[in-house]
Structure 1
Amino acid sequence: MVRKYQLYLIEDEFAAHYFGRERMFFQLFQEYEASNGELKQITKKQIAYITKHLQILKIHQLIQKQLGKIRGFKSEHGTYTIELSGKLSTATLEVHENRVLIEANGSYEAETAFFEVLRKCESSFLAVDLENERFGWLKPIKERKFV
């Protein structure tokens, strides 16, 4: 089964406010994918408002630095591929202006390697798997304790 993740960097203020209610983000991304016309334009603006632009160069540098020496890691035209455990776990990653796309197959080992790097890069990455209705933070946000 192929897993496809879209990773968005959520603005800190929204990430903190909607902690524990991540389904609302998921539903927004789901609505965007399913809509067209005026509704698609509205949801696109909403997504632009709650997400941060990615620091593309920083992400590329971090991936190269953290994974570049791993056997099974390849980089071609800005797309990264990891094949681990004799192709039992594969994942590709592409960095776009407003999201990171990861496609994975087999065991979770290869995609986890990408997730770990991205987790170190930024604190508010939200991963969304629309096909399997799965979503979550790469780095769980700690609830703020107000005394």
Structure 2
Amino acid sequence: MRNYRIYLIEDEFAQHYFGREKLFFNLFLEYTNSSGRQKGILQKQIEYITKPIPTAELRDILENQLMRKKDFLYKDGVYYLDKRSGKARAALKLDGQFIVLQAEGDFEAETSFFESIRKYESGFLAIDLENTHYGWLKPVKERKFV
């Protein structure tokens, strides 16, 4: 099972840390493993570098793009995709600070969710702490100065 938390990173930090996503991963991992005062400090850092999730806009995008698919279901605030008779399953829940995506099987269902989300904005960073996976849903384009 893959468990992603998808954060919307402030543009300034997304551009500055492009190519150094491991630093974001380490921040979120340290936050998860900390407690007490340190957890509070890390929470403030995370709040500073992330933007709130635009739930209404993403809800519209998800419903417009996925509702036509017969393997799509929305129930109790959670979006479900069950591809090819259970070979790929994913569930997505929108939260105010991050998006939770749980997936199992092959990557088709989670990719459908990723594709829908990335159309909204380029600053989404997916992090799977358990499996040590992380990356941009839509990589930030580097500016080339001549």
> Shorter-chain TM-score category?
over 0.9
Amino acid across the alignment from 2:126: A
Match of 1:120 in 2: 119
TM-score (norm 2): 0.99
Runs (4+) off by over 6 Å: none
Match of 1:8 in 2: 7
- Distance in structure 1 (CA, Å) of the matches to 2:145 and 2:8: 25
Match of 2:141 in 1: 142
Where do 5+ consecutive residues of structure 2 fail to align?
A: none
Pairwise CA distance, 1:53: 0.7
Amino acid across the alignment from 1:137: W
- Distance in structure 2 (CA, Å) of the matches to 1:58 and 1:30: 28
Amino acid across the alignment from 2:72: F
Match of 1:100 in 2: 99
Pairwise CA distance, 1:25: 0.3
Amino acid across the alignment from 2:77: G
Q: How many residues align?
A: 146
Counterparts in 2 of 1:72-83, with a 5 A limit? 72-83=71-82
Pairwise CA distance, 1:24: 0.3
Q: What SS does the corresponding residue of 2:68 show, helix, strand or coil? A: coil
Match of 1:43 in 2: 42
TM-score (norm 1): 0.98
Q: Give the share of equivalent positions with the same residue, in percent.
A: 49
Pairwise CA distance, 1:77: 1.7
Match of 1:57 in 2: 56
Deviations 1:66-109 (A, max 9, x none): 00110110001210000011011000000000100000010000
Q: What SS does the corresponding residue of 2:81 show, helix, strand or coil? A: strand
Q: What SS does the corresponding residue of 1:110 show, helix, strand or coil? A: helix
- Distance in structure 2 (CA, Å) of the matches to 1:107 and 1:133: 17
- Distance in structure 1 (CA, Å) of the matches to 2:21 and 2:133: 10
RMSD (CA atoms): 0.6
Pairwise CA distance, 1:124: 0.6
- Distance in structure 1 (CA, Å) of the matches to 2:74 and 2:2: 20
Amino acid across the alignment from 1:77: D
Where do 5+ consecutive residues of structure 1 fail to align?
A: none
